[in-house]
Amino acid sequence: MTEPVRYQEGKDNNVLSSALYDAYKGKCWWCGRAMPFPDAEIDHLLPRSASPERVAELAQELGLDGDFDVHDPRNLGPICPGCNKEKASTDFTKVPRIVSKLRKAENLRPRVIRLVRTFHDTKAIAAALLRAKAADLSDADARRTLNEHAPGFIQAMANAGVDLDYSAYSVVDVERGEDGPLEVEVTLGAVSRRALGVLEDACGGELPAVLEEPVIALERILHKDVFSAFENKHIPGGAAYPGSVESGWLDVAVRSVSLDRSGTYFEFTFEGTFQGQFPVTLLHDSVDPGTLEEGAGEAFADGEFSFPAEWDPSDGDVEIIVGEPTLTYNELKTWIDY
């Protein structure tokens, strides 16, 4: 029988830590900022110090399963040391975003489990890779060892026919006006990096500028779709009447850039993913006929997007023309507190 994947008190949890770090793309689950793997700590979203009775109480308050296990990956995330200290005294019944963070952990749970079990299937090489991943590359001896041995490892992979197309990761700050910048994760393979290089070098495009309008439009579409979802929401008293929609948190990631060229005409297609939580102010029908009550709502959205970017110097316009994003939802859920 396969052992369940869970945090083990007082034992070596390095493999689980690595799986969580990779599933969260190297970002702290609390503040959303990138961090080096050696700094990452395993955090329990709901505190492990809570008594079983308190966990059951929190689970009920947050709408979680009755058999909620605080050591399961659905309650774990990588966290940076600073946030771990800040979070220690937080009362999570007073933090609305914890619900959406728990839903995100639930969505990432299958990947965490798969990464842990893949490690154990090929334990020897996986352990070596984990040690390399955790190495302090600011150390001169570690860098020298890497320089000496990495080429042979890469050659062995090539000889075995292993695809060497690694994904390069970066974070781009995209301006959103009064809402401030949004950190957009950009993770691209070799083909996408070449396409992006053409856009930047041949077309003179700058990635933050190219992403600005589509990201603003993506958030606007999300708010509109969340508003529409609440307009169609029915509760025991009757109907809900949404007001403002805000972004509690929003993760946007570019996963690929493709290029189609015909003569002097270049068309780039950007594709990626989005996931976010959106608080909503609303009124809803009361159980007393003809009266309204104030309430609060929340939506969780997860999906994919794409948008085009065109450049054609032959028409005399050397600017890159960026199109509207198209969204495809994997999930759009709404909840009302009434």
Pick the closest to residue 244 from 286, 287, 289, 294 (CA basis): 294
In this predicted structure, what is the pLDDT of residue 62? 66
Q: Residue 68 and residue 55: Cα distance in Å, rounded?
A: 8
In this predicted structure, what is the pLDDT of residue 5? 93
153 part of a folded domain: no
Q: Report how far apart, in Å, the C-alpha atoms of 321 and of each of 221, 266, 308 are.
A: 20, 10, 8
Whether residues 242 and 97 share a domain: the answer is no
Whether residues 124 and 64 share a domain: the answer is yes
Pick the closest to residue 127 from 119, 116, 115 (CA basis): 119
What is the pLDDT confidence band of residue 35, given thresholds at 50, 70 and 90? confident
Whether residues 21 and 84 share a domain: the answer is yes
Run of H or E including 329: strand 326-337
User: Which of the residue ranges 31-45, 115-129, 244-258 would you say has the lowest mean pLDDT?
Assistant: 115-129
Tens-place pLDDT, residues 69-110: 889 999 999 999 998 887 765 656 555 567 778 878 888 888
Whether residues 222 and 326 share a domain: the answer is yes
Which of 134, 158, 191 is the endpoint of a domain?
134
Higher pLDDT, 167 or 328: 328
DSSP state at residue 69 = -
Whether residues 128 and 175 share a domain: the answer is no
Do the bridges between strand 292-312 and strand 265-285 make them parallel or antiparallel, or are there none, so unpaired?
A: antiparallel
DSSP state at residue 177 = G
222 part of a folded domain: yes
In this predicted structure, what is the pLDDT of residue 317? 65
Work out how many domains the chain is built from and give that number. 2
User: Which of the residue ranges 75-79, 126-130, 266-270 would you say has the lowest mean pLDDT?
Assistant: 126-130
Higher pLDDT, 159 or 173: 173
For 251-311, the DSSP string reads EEEEEEEEEEEETTEEEEEEEEEEEEEEEEEEEEE-SSTT-EEEEEEEEEEEEEEEEEEEE
Q: Residue 280 and residue 337: Cα distance in Å, rounded?
A: 10
Q: Give the domain range for residue 212.
A: 168-337
Which of 78, 110, 134 is the endpoint of a domain?
134
At 83, which amino acid appears?
Answer: C
82 part of a folded domain: yes
CATH code where residue 331 lies: 3.15.10
Residue 144 CA to its chain's centroid (Å): 34
Q: Reply yes or no on whether the pLDDT at 1 is more than 60.
A: no
231 part of a folded domain: yes
In this predicted structure, what is the pLDDT of residue 248? 86
Whether residues 34 and 92 share a domain: the answer is yes
What is the pLDDT confidence band of residue 308, given thresholds at 50, 70 and 90? very high
Torsion of CA 258, 260, 261, 262, to 10 degrees: -170
- What sign does the CA torsion over 22, 104, 247, 257 have? positive
Whether residues 211 and 83 share a domain: the answer is no
Q: Reply yes or no on whether the pLDDT at 181 is more than 60.
A: yes
- What sign does the CA torsion over 26, 35, 103, 115 have? positive
Which of 134, 154, 183 is the endpoint of a domain?
134
Question: Which tokens is 293 given?
Answer: 């009550």
Q: Reply yes or no on whether the pLDDT at 244 is more than 80.
A: yes
140 part of a folded domain: no
- % of the chain residues with pLDDT over 70: 90
For 135-148, the DSSP string reads S-TTSHHHHHHHHH
201 part of a folded domain: yes
